[in-house]
Amino acid sequence: MKPAMPAPTTFDDIGAEEMAIRVRGVTKEFGSGDSMTRALRGVDLDVPYGELLMLVGPSGCGKTTLVSIIAGTLEPSAGDVSVLGKDLVTMTNGRKVCFRRENVGFIFQSYNLLPSLTAVENAAVPLLIAGWRRSAAVAAAADVLGRLGLGDRLTNLPSELSGGQQQRVAIARALVHEPRLLVCDEPTSALDAENGRITMELIQKIAVQPDRAVIVVTHDSRAYSFADRIAAMEDGRIESVASGPHHLAAPAPHSPDHP
Amino acid sequence: MFWIAWKMLIGNRAKYLGIVFGVVFAALLIAQQASIFCGLMSLTVSQIRDVQGPSIWVMDENVQFVDDIKPLSDTELFRVKGVQGVDWAVRFYKGIARARLEEGSYEQMILLGLDDATLVGAPEGVFMGSIADLRKPDAVIIDDAGYKRIWPGEPFRLGRVFEMNDHRAVVVGITKASRTFQSFPILYTRYSQAVTFAPPERKVLSFVLANPQPGLAPEEVCHRIEAQTGLQAVTRDQFLRKTIIYYLQKTGIPINFGITVFLGFLVGTAIAGQTFYLFTVENIRQFGALKAMGTSNWMILLMVLSQALHVGLVGYGVGVGLAALFGWWSRSMTRLSFFMPWQVLAITAAAVFVIVLVASVLSIRKVLVLDPAVVFRG
């Protein structure tokens, strides 16, 4: 199920060329003067290809900010960010748009499906953005949805699907264009235990490949068992990085609101 | 992507209909009011249009429009005839007469006196009686709308008698005629008869109608007439324009209609703009997701514009269609003048285009500055 690669616990265990994500000294500040908020305070993080890394931590610790920077949707205030061998800091906005289109798949907490598109049309959106013809995009999306067990729900609108089914459509949408980086923001938080487990299994089974990386932001401790490594964040910093199963056994490094 | 934009737009029926309603309202009001305005303007020149044959109108130099009669001396006819290049010229009387009907009531009428010999300017739509009957004593031809006005509910009948200026007039024909600005009944008679029906004046000749000799441009002959007689001579088209310009410049009609059209434009813009903006705000996370997934700002801009254009086209089509329906209804059921030339359609289209452009500007700004990272916020 998981790639054969052993889970590293330190940054130096793996060479830079094997890293899907390399973050060095990244800071992010919002606002200025007295109202300035420092969301990230010098974050270092490496994620090798073939790994599913979970970012955990209390609300406001900077998980979403960090993952937004890694996904290329937010500029860091300082530091270096290299994703899939590309330097995102020096990349122009136009190139970043192309980079996201070609290389990044997104799974959002609230699904963000287009309510007026059917399941298969929603799943086809990244291919349509990439310029595919609608018929070809829909056929490819139907194939992915079939693999996710939604072959009989292709023409249903999101409002006609359960939360778990909507999240599977979102997974299909994130994977349909075969991105090399999958960014998941709280993918199980809106789901019950069973659907959360199914969702994580699908992400692990389909998305985790030797040439890809998956980064999951989550509060949901039930999802930890699917991680290769877990990076715990606190107050804009990464406090610890541990392999998944070990982390489960370790004392909780987070604030009281952590599950 | 335009397909996605279209699906997003029509997916929210209430908002979609709200935006379309705003554009329909504006298009309907602009097209309808502009068409009524054009209809009114066409009424002002209907009597010039109805006089077929002569291409030159000669009148007092101070006449400003067709109803601004400044009578000439009868001898002016011969001066015009004497101008080189004039093929023929005839007298034409136009005035208002007061008719005393059989039952003793009075009615104002537009009285047109045609040249006795040639009957130039006679109506072309006579459907009861004949133009030749105008040569009979006391003969008049009346327009059908005028007949219905003075004898409402009664069938068309020739031989009806009434008085004008203590002279007997007999209806010998009924004709179709274009409606006039004053909406009075129109009477056609011979010139010599008309001057007996009209209130007594020293000068009675309203216009001299003329035609240039073959091969000569009417404008050129007009110049010659003006130079030799000191009268004002204009071509038929020039007289049409002159009359319309008079009404545009000297009456409040364009301002009244202009205000209504402008209000329609403003209200339509407000409704469409507000609803379109709300629609965009409501879909902001979807736009954010599209941007996060790699949709460029340029494509987002085109998507919003395509939504706006879609709404504009539908709203324009429905609005102009409703205006045309109103025009058809008003023509068949009421006396309201309604004329929708292609210029009205073009102006309405331009106004609708501006409305959807203005409506989309705020929305475009909203999505262009949208941070795609918004989709990661709960």
**Closest in A64, A106, A128 to B292, CB measured:** A106
Instruction: Report the distance separating Cα A234 and Cα B236, nearest Å.
Output: 89
CB B300 within 8 A of CB B291: yes
Which residues of chain A make contact with B289, given a CB cutoff of 8 A? 106, 108, 112, 114
A100 with B294: Cβ contact below 8 A? yes
Instruction: Please enumerate in sequence order all residues whose Cβ is within 8 A of that of A60, keeping only pairs 6 or more positions apart, or say none.
Output: none
Q: Which residue of A has its CA nearest to B296?
A: A97
- Domain locations along chain B: 2-43+252-376, 73-230
CB B58 within 8 A of CB B223: no
B10 with A121: Cβ contact below 8 A? no
List residues in chain B touching A: CB distance below 8 A. Answer: 1, 3-4, 7-8, 10-12, 285-286, 288-297, 299, 371-373, 375-378
Would you state the pLDDT for residue B233? 94
Would you state the pLDDT for residue A17? 59
Nearest CA to A2 out of A226, A199, A169 is that of A226
Instruction: Report the distance separating Cα A258 and Cα A221, nearest Å.
Output: 9
Pairing of strands A37-48, A19-30: antiparallel
A128 with B290: Cβ contact below 8 A? no
Instruction: Please enumerate in sequence order all residues whose Cβ is within 8 A of that of B154, keeping only pairs 6 or more positions apart, or say none.
Output: none
Pairing of strands A19-30, B232-235: unpaired
Interface mutation vs chain A, best among B6, B9, B16, B293, most A CBs within 10 Å: B293
Alpha carbon B310 to chain centroid, angstroms = 30
Tokens of B40: 């009114």
Would you state the pLDDT for residue A247? 46
Would you state the pLDDT for residue A113? 87
Nearest CA to A119 out of A159, A78, A85, A83 is that of A159
Q: Which residue of A has its CA nearest to B377?
A: A64
CB burial of B124-147 (b: ≥16 within 10 Å; e: otherwise) equals eebebbebebbeeebbbbbbbbbb
Would you state the pLDDT for residue A249? 45
Statement: residue A259 has pLDDT above 60: no
A73 with B4: Cβ contact below 8 A? no
Beta-strand ranges (E) seen in B156-301 are: 161-164, 167-176, 186-190, 207-212, 232-235
Instruction: Please enumerate in sequence order all residues whose Cβ is within 8 A of that of A67, keeping only pairs 6 or more positions apart, or say none.
Output: A55, A183, A185, A215, A217, B376
Rg, C-alpha atoms of chain A? 18
Size of interface A-B (CB pairs under 8 A): 86
Beta-strand ranges (E) seen in chain A are: 19-30, 37-48, 52-56, 78-83, 86-87, 104-107, 181-185, 213-217, 229-234, 237-243
Tokens of A11: 């940054």
B1 with A128: Cβ contact below 8 A? yes
Would you state the pLDDT for residue A252? 44
Kindly report, residue by residue over B324-343, the tens digit of the pLDDT. 999 888 877 776 778 888 99
Q: Which residue of A has its CA nearest to B370?
A: A73
**Closest in A94, A109, A129 to B1, CB measured:** A129
A112 with B378: Cβ contact below 8 A? no
Q: What is the pLDDT along chain B (378 residues), one digit of tens a residue?
A: 788 888 888 887 888 888 888 889 888 888 888 888 888 888 888 888 888 889 999 999 999 988 888 999 889 999 999 999 999 999 999 998 888 888 888 889 999 999 998 998 888 888 999 899 999 999 999 999 889 988 888 999 999 999 988 899 999 999 988 777 777 899 999 999 998 888 888 888 999 999 999 999 999 999 999 999 999 999 999 999 999 999 888 888 888 888 888 887 888 778 877 877 888 888 888 888 888 888 888 888 888 889 888 988 999 999 999 999 998 888 777 767 788 889 989 998 998 888 888 878 878 888 887 777 776 665
Mean pLDDT computed over every residue of chain A: 81
Q: Which of A118-122, A198-202, B93-97, B222-226 has the lowest mean pLDDT?
A: A198-202
Whole-prediction pTM value? 0.72
Q: ipTM greater than 0.85, yes or no?
A: no
Tokens of B180: 């006039």
Alpha carbon A253 to chain centroid, angstroms = 22
Which residues of chain B make contact with A138, given a CB cutoff of 8 A? none
Statement: residue A18 has pLDDT above 70: no
Domains recognised in chain A with CATH numbers: 20-112+171-249 (3.40.50.300)
**Closest in A94, A101, A117 to B293, CB measured:** A101
Q: Which residue of B has its CA nearest to A101?
A: B294
Half-sphere exposure of B91 (CA within 13 A, CB side): 24
Dihedral Cα A5, A8, A12, A18, nearest 10 deg: 30
CB burial of A174-212 (b: ≥16 within 10 Å; e: otherwise) equals bbbbebbbbbbbbbbbbbeeebbbbbbebbbebbbeeeb
User: What are the Cα distances from residue B72, in Å, to A56, B82, B203, B227?
Assistant: 101, 16, 6, 17
A67 with B377: Cβ contact below 8 A? no
Long-range contact set of residues B159-165: C-beta below 8 Å, sequence gap at least 24: B160/B102, B161/B102, B162/B99, B162/B100, B162/B101, B162/B102, B163/B99, B163/B100, B164/B97, B164/B98, B164/B99, B164/B100, B164/B109, B164/B111, B164/B197, B164/B198, B165/B97, B165/B98, B165/B196, B165/B197, B165/B198, B165/B199, B165/B200
Mean pLDDT of A143-165: 86
More confident residue, A198 or A132: A132
The single-letter code of the amino acid at B91 is R
Dihedral Cα A21, A25, A30, A31, nearest 10 deg: -150
Kindly report, residue by residue over A63-86, the tens digit of the pLDDT. 888 988 998 888 899 999 988 888
